[in-house]
């Protein structure tokens, strides 16, 4: 979700439009939330005006959904399995926390990082902006 929001907020010349359209379709279909990890990642670009970011996310229609204890523990288990299989530290814990939040607390995930999430969170319905079918 972080990359999609950055695509929209920057705006990204390559992915901006497809990310915006994917988010629009998600908003038409259901309520859209981002977990605290996504909010923290996005807020790094708005250090001088975090209040403006909060207003903007509200105007877009994105709600805040904090990570539950169960989601955090699921992320730890999956990250451990990843490391046991030889996964490098290139993949940071935040990616696993976002995936676990989607798996445990939501019914789908909007992200451009399809390979990682399909491999480690295969039960999550993934919406990739280049293929914006949210059914």
CATH homologous superfamily of 2-127 equals 5'-nuclease (3.40.50.1010)
Is it the case that residue 10 has pLDDT exceeding 70? yes
Give the CA distances from residue 101 to residues 2, 48, 94, 105, in Å, rounded to whole numbers and listed in that order.
13, 28, 10, 5
Distance CA(98)–CA(95), nearest Å, equals: 5
pTM: 0.89
Count other Cβ atoms within 10 Å, centred on residue 126: 19
pLDDT digits (tens, 9 = 90+) for 16-69: 999 999 999 999 998 999 999 999 999 988 878 889 999 999 999 999 999 999
Task: Give me Rg for the CA atoms of the chain.
Answer: 15
Q: How high does pLDDT run on average in the chain?
A: 91
3-state secondary structure of 7: helix
Judged against a pLDDT cut of 80, whether residue 134 lies above it is answered with: no
**Could you tell me the residue ranges of all domains in the chain?**
2-127
């Amino acid at each position: 979700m972080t990359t999609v929001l950055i695509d929209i907020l920057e705006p990204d010349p390559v992915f901006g439009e497809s990310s915006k359209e994917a988010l629009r379709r998600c908003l038409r279909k259901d309520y859209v939330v981002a977990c605290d990890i996504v909010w923290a990642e996005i807020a790094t670009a708005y250090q001088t005006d975090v209040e403006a970011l909060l207003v903007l996310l509200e105007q877009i229609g994105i709600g805040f959904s904090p990570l539950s204890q169960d989601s955090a523990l699921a992320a730890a288990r999956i990250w451990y399995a990843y490391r046991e299989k030889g996964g490098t530290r290139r993949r940071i814990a935040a990616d696993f926390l976002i995936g676990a939040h989607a798996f445990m607390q939501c019914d789908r995930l909007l992200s451009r990082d399809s390979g990682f999430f399909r491999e480690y969170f295969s039960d999550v319905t993934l919406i990739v902006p280049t293929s914006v079918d949210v059914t």
